[in-house]
Amino acid sequence: MNVDPQDLRRTVVALLAEAGHAGPICESESLFLSGRLDSLAAAEILALLERDYGLDLADANFDITGIDTLARLEALARQQPA
């Protein structure tokens, strides 16, 4: 599945806004260090990426820091086979 980075960004920003973290997010801002992303929100984002975008995150070497910024999320999505 081909993932549109802007669509992915809108989806993640909306999910964070639902969790009470509205406002602009810089592409390189650490979502964990800023407090926007906690373990529950991270699990929700991972589930969303797998369900809505068909991303396979079952790799045993997956590192949670791969979803720490919008830029990393977009890069992760681009790495997935179409």
Residue 64 has pLDDT above 90, yes or no: no
Domain 5-79 is of which CATH architecture? Orthogonal Bundle (1.10)
Task: State the pLDDT at residue 28.
Answer: 93
Full DSSP string of the chain = -PPPHHHHHHHHHHHHHHTT--S---TT--TTTTTS--HHHHHHHHHHHHHHH------TT--GGGGSSHHHHHHHHHHS--
Residue 1 has pLDDT above 60, yes or no: no
pTM of structure:
0.77
The mean pLDDT of the chain is: 83
- Domain layout of the chain by residue ranges: 5-79
Reported confidence tier of residue 80, pLDDT bands at 50, 70, 90: low
